[in-house]
Amino acid sequence: MEQIQTIEIPIAGMDCTECTQHVQHAISGVSGVKKVDVFLSSEKAIVQLNPSIVKMADIRTAVKNAGYSVAAKDEETKTPNAALGEFSRRMFTAFGLAFGAVIIIVVLGEWLGLLDGLTKIIPFPVGVALVLLGGAPIFLNVIRATLNRQVIAHTLMSIGAIAALLVGEWTTAMVVIFFMHIGGYTERLTAEGARHAVKDLTAMAPQTARVEKDGEEKEIPITEVQLNDIVVVRPGEKIPVDGEVISGHAAVDQSSVTGESMPVEAGIGSQVRSATILKQGTLKVRTQAVGAQSMFGRVIKMVEEAEAHRADVQQFADKFSAYYLPVVAGIAALTFLISRNPLATAAVLLVACSCTIALATPIAMLATIGLNAKHGVLIKGGKYIETLARADVLLIDKTGTLTLGKPIVTDIVSLNGMDEHTLLSYSASADRYSEHPLAAALRRAASEREVSLHEITNFESIAGMGVRAVIEGKHISVGKHENTIPGQAKELEAQGKTVLFVSIDNSLAGFIAAADTLRHEVPEALQEAKRLGIKKVELLTGDNERTASSVAGALNISYRANLLPEDKIRIVKEYQSQGHIVVMAGDGINDAPALAQANVGIAMKAGTDIAIEAAHITLLREDWTLIPQVIAAAQRTMRVVKGNLGFTAAYNIIGLLLAAFGFLPPMLAAALQSIPDLGILGNSARLLKNQ
């Protein structure tokens, strides 16, 4: 069998999605590479390859030939063309400071017709040398891309600069080179704006831990912490690992992970998370997960890799960018054929802004994903932001989603002479390995009443139905009852309680009622969701008709009861077949299939790992107000994206028309080329302020 390995490779020099496409194309061309995902936000590539065929040197060479570089893990990411990056930045700074005033004079000189004297003072060969010196890093990058059969944004501008030299306009070419550097700087600035929220999140990760070994404490790098190590955390410090508290009591600020502003109490037996902050007290924590395996590490990984799930509008922009440059080249050729004006032709090449089109969507998406992660909402990709913004149906699970998921036992009714103590003991024992909130309620009730539990065998959990087990040779089942329901059980269900029927050897022995508490913020959150465009809200639950009716009636929503997991999938598909965009919110194993089937699945923090994995959005805080908040954020983001695309489209069309008809001089065309980047950055920055 072929061996496949997945590795992460840091990539230096990417400024836009066009860059990620070039890197992806380069690495994909290496023999033995199976799959490549390149991420602008985290500046890395995740590569699946056959290690017996692919060598790291091959990938480095491929990336270098594409005009980028592979940095060491501990190296600071550098700008494009690593070999010339530092020279390029220093040259640009010196060039800008020393000749900025001169350039302004040159531009004004062109408008006022004062360049004749300047061109006489500086010989043409000297001007050409200045252009070649200033443009060397850019020209080399264009040559490298051309050899790899790639057309990049600077290709057209370089042709424009060369065209200006060929007609004797070295001053124009010089200004073009200057503004090419300005454009490169603004593109880096814009890309950095997209990465900002993600990098802020990454910066929260602890770098060291104080580990206790043999009675001594030693601070070590987080990479050296092992499972089961005892980590000591003092007031004001970040908890560096996920683990269980074995000593101490403290208040923990979890806002960095969940967005929750109020500290929570942690004592012996409590679970604590990496990157949360100890406000008061001292804790000793037994390490259960560290680094990338911790909850915070998984959050960072999900945010970084969310870029792979691109929105349809982003995929359209990426495809459009691939065809845009050839179209511009065609317009330039047509301009020259009709007007025979080389300066107008050069202006067409100079004013084109392909990177701006490619950046219009990911800048906004990455800002929203990164910022929401800091607020306790994990979005797995831009495609789910775009879809959520158009959603009109919200389907909701009950237990643990609409309710707190911590029901309490309210009634125990035994039949056929069995006492309540024995009935609770059998039911709690049968449910001792179940993760369902009702099972936890049975175990809590047994503990509070000091009821001992039995050892069980042949445990079986049946999604949507309950559990089965063998206790002391008896076959015990706890859950739904398919036969006639006693009148007293119907009365309890009418009160909105969930009734669990306990059967022994297929004979009903009694039933236990439990009540869950509706989350206090749900009614207001649902009203806000409706205001944002959700036209239909429906409760989908495995509970009985009476319980479902009681909860749905309190919220003034429709409901469907007695559902199995496959029923929930069927209902999701039913709405989708009618053209609706469906959001499903749930938390349990039985919700996972419906979460995956929905256009957008939202999992609650308290849910199972299976539900969280299946969902497209995860709420790290058990707060229903986050649902309308993320819907509103998605809608704001799409307004910004559409604004970005509309602005760049209009800007490019107007610029190309003005240049083609000779109304835009090459110098001004070069100067205007970098403005859309700043426009997009400014427009997208509104997301960071509003969310």
The H or E element containing residue 512 is: strand 507-515
Q: Considering only CA atoms, which of 240, 221, 232 is closest in space to residue 293?
A: 240
Q: What is the pLDDT of residue 77?
A: 40
Q: Examine the fold and report which residue of 78, 105, 128 is the final residue of a domain before the chain moves on.
A: 78
Question: Cα(12)–Cα(420) distance, rounded to whole angstroms?
Answer: 68
Domain shared by 67 and 98, yes or no: no
Are the C-beta atoms of 648 and 356 separated by less than 8 Å? yes
Would you state the structure tokens that stand for residue 91, as one six-digit string?
């040259």
Q: Examine the fold and report which residue of 591, 620, 649 is the final residue of a domain before the chain moves on.
A: 620
Q: Considering only CA atoms, which of 160, 157, 164 is closest in space to residue 354?
A: 157
Residue 677 a catalytic site member? no
- Residue 507 burial class via C-beta count within 10 angstroms: exposed 0-12, middle 13-18, buried 19 and up: exposed
Task: Flag whether pLDDT at 98 surpasses 50.
Answer: no
Would you state the structure tokens that stand for residue 541, as one six-digit string?
């639950």
- Report if pTM > 0.75: no
Domain shared by 507 and 522, yes or no: no
Domain shared by 92 and 195, yes or no: yes
Task: Flag whether pLDDT at 302 surpasses 80.
Answer: no
In a domain? residue 31: yes
Which whole-number Å values give the CA distances from 561 to 55, 258, 538, 593, 686, in the listed order?
Answer: 57, 32, 11, 17, 43
The H or E element containing residue 408 is: strand 408-414
Looking at every residue in the chain, the average pLDDT score rounds to 80
Question: Cα(119)–Cα(139) distance, rounded to whole angstroms?
Answer: 24
Are the C-beta atoms of 356 and 677 separated by less than 8 Å? yes
In a domain? residue 625: no
Band of residue 74 on the pLDDT scale cut at 50, 70, 90: very low
Domain shared by 360 and 385, yes or no: no
Which whole-number Å values give the CA distances from 635 to 237, 602, 638, 691, in the listed order?
Answer: 37, 16, 5, 11
Q: What is the pLDDT of residue 183?
A: 63
Domain shared by 542 and 522, yes or no: yes
469-527 per-position pLDDT tens digit: 999 999 999 998 777 788 888 888 877 788 899 999 988 999 999 887 888 899 999 99
Task: Output the domain CATH number for residue 53.
Answer: 3.30.70.100
Q: Which of 350-364, 433-447, 530-544 has the lowest mean pLDDT?
A: 350-364
Q: What is the mean pLDDT of residues 280-295?
A: 87
Q: What is the pLDDT of residue 341?
A: 86
Task: Flag whether pLDDT at 149 surpasses 90.
Answer: no
Beta-sheet pairing, 582-586 with 277-280: unpaired
211-227 per-position pLDDT tens digit: 998 888 899 998 899 99
The residue that leads in pLDDT, 592 or 368, is: 368
Would you state the structure tokens that stand for residue 608, as one six-digit string?
């199972």
In a domain? residue 297: no
Task: Flag whether pLDDT at 169 surpasses 90.
Answer: no
Backbone angles phi, psi at 395, to 5 degrees: -105, 140
For the chain, state the CA radius of gyration.
32
Q: How many domains does the chain have?
A: 5
The parent domain of residue 420 ranges over: 408-515
Domain shared by 547 and 454, yes or no: no
Task: Flag whether pLDDT at 80 surpasses 60.
Answer: no
227-275 per-position pLDDT tens digit: 999 999 998 888 999 999 999 988 888 766 665 656 788 889 888 888 8
573-630 per-position pLDDT tens digit: 999 999 999 999 987 666 778 888 999 999 876 544 565 667 889 888 888 999 999 9
Question: Cα(521)–Cα(619) distance, rounded to whole angstroms?
Answer: 15
Active-site hit among 397, 431, 587, 591: 397
Q: What is the pLDDT of residue 306?
A: 60
Which whole-number Å values give the CA distances from 39 to 70, 72, 151, in the listed order?
Answer: 14, 17, 21
Are the C-beta atoms of 515 and 407 separated by less than 8 Å? yes
Q: What is the pLDDT of residue 96?
A: 46
Residue showing tokens 């802004």: 353
Three-state SS annotation for 35-57:
EEEEECCCCEEEEEECCCCCCHH
Domain shared by 602 and 530, yes or no: yes
